[in-house]
């Protein structure tokens, strides 16, 4: 298996991947063409029709995963699970992947899109990707990708984010003039970095910043990244826990090709997406189906509705993503969704999965 998956190796032409939303049919159809790949192994993998893969080994012969099997780190043939994440070695996403699937083979991907497509193309078994941060809010790109792709949420991981100030060996804080990191990481350490008088420069990810500083042996530049990144790239940790707020937690979603069988033996969470006809009280009516049944909502996110082919184009139509604390195995939840379906123009269950209660 390749050490990393790049976007160029599995992406196709701009027209190859699109999503068509048809409100009248309440379905979303993703279209993915078979791309050409430079690497021979990837070419063979991508050239193999998905239907034949399903017939041989790709689909679990035992059917959908159960909640007790979802966190195991070995596939049915005994091989280590391959788990995609966005970033490079030392990224917080890599730590989240290893937390979700201990002893897995974590596969770095250049972009979020790449990780989604790698799972769909059977290049990896699953993916672990961030969806929201307690300080920075939602990762909107991944909400959009959940809709475009047909993967299922099979779990979640809440990871405490502890930022460190890193520099090459022998450097001191007073030697630094600037610092590199992901924009959110820089924002989360704004007060500390301002007191140090450092110029902030945004890059693609935290571990990538550490790798850049190390590779180019920069003496006046540091990086905000994890302690793991310091170990991997041979950097010194000049300061630990430099985030302005200690309550800095990122929630990651575990994504797979097949859903798990929801249960009632532990706390479960369910994620859905739906759209509504425009009108007074439409959203209130939708949320009321849960309130009437004492179902606790934990998250609501709106995103623009694109690619609507039903009637003339309209601005400011929205999809609503909703998380709530209950399992699809609960008849109360099933009744709530039947009620919502009566007036929703589209409804899709993204996953019903064990909740991460480690932070409680």
Burial environment of residue 79 by CB neighbours within 10 A (0 to 12, 13 to 18, 19 or more): exposed
Picking from 188, 207, 174, the residue whose alpha carbon sits closest to that of residue 136 is 188
CB 326 within 8 A of CB 295: yes
Based on the residue annotation, tell me whether 252 is a catalytic residue of this protein: yes
Based on the residue annotation, tell me whether 284 is a catalytic residue of this protein: no
Picking from 155, 149, 93, the residue whose alpha carbon sits closest to that of residue 117 is 149
Q: List, in sequence order, the alpha helices (H) in the chain.
A: 7-10, 40-47, 50-56, 92-100, 112-120, 140-148, 183-188, 190-196, 206-215, 227-233, 282-291, 331-341
Catalytic residue (one of 250, 268, 320, 345)? 250
How many CB atoms lie under 10 A from the CB of residue 254?
27
Picking from 337, 318, 92, the residue whose alpha carbon sits closest to that of residue 227 is 92
CA distances from 186 to 216, 293, 347 (A): 21, 42, 37
Nearest-angstrom CA–CA distance, 79 and 286:
44
How many CB atoms lie under 10 A from the CB of residue 347?
18
Burial environment of residue 15 by CB neighbours within 10 A (0 to 12, 13 to 18, 19 or more): exposed
Picking from 12, 53, 48, the residue whose alpha carbon sits closest to that of residue 32 is 12
Catalytic residue (one of 112, 252, 320, 324)? 252
Catalytic amino acids? 250, 252
């Amino acid at each position: 298996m390749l050490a990393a998956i790049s976007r160029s190796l599995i992406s196709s032409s701009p027209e190859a991947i699109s999503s068509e939303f048809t409100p009248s049919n309440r379905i979303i159809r993703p279209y993915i063409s078979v791309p050409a790949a430079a690497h021979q192994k990837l070419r063979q993998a991508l050239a193999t029709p998905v239907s034949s893969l399903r017939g041989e080994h790709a689909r679990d012969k035992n059917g959908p995963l159960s909640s007790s099997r979802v966190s195991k780190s070995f596939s049915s043939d005994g091989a280590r699970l391959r788990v995609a994440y966005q970033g490079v070695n030392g990224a917080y996403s890599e730590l989240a992947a290893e937390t979700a699937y201990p002893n897995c083979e974590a596969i770095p991907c250049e972009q979020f899109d790449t990780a989604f497509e790698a799972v769909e193309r059977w290049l990896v078994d699953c993916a672990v990707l961030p969806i929201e941060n307690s300080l920075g809010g939602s990762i909107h790109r991944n909400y959009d990708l959940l809709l475009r792709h047909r993967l299922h949420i099979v779990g979640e991981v809440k990871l405490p984010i502890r930022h460190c100030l890193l520099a090459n060996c022998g450097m001191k804080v007073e030697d630094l003039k600037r610092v590199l990191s992901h924009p959110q990481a820089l924002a989360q350490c704004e007060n500390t970095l301002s007191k140090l008088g450092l110029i902030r420069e945004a890059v693609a990810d935290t571990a990538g910043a550490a790798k850049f500083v190390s590779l180019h042996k920069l003496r006046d530049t540091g990086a905000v990244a994890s302690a793991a990144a310091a170990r991997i790239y041979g950097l010194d940790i000049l300061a630990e826990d430099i985030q302005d707020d200690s309550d800095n937690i990122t929630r990651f979603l575990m994504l797979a090709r097949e859903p798990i069988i929801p249960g009632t033996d532990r706390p479960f969470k369910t994620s859905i997406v739906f759209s509504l006809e425009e009108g007074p009280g439409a959203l209130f009516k939708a949320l009321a189906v849960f309130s009437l049944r004492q179902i606790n909502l934990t998250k609501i996110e709106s995103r623009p509705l694109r690619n609507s082919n039903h009637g003339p184009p309209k601005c400011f139509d929205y999809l609503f993503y909703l998380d709530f604390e209950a399992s699809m195995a609960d008849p109360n939840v099933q009744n709530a969704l039947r009620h919502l379906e009566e007036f929703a123009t589209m409804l899709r269950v993204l996953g019903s999965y064990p909740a991460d209660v480690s932070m409680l």
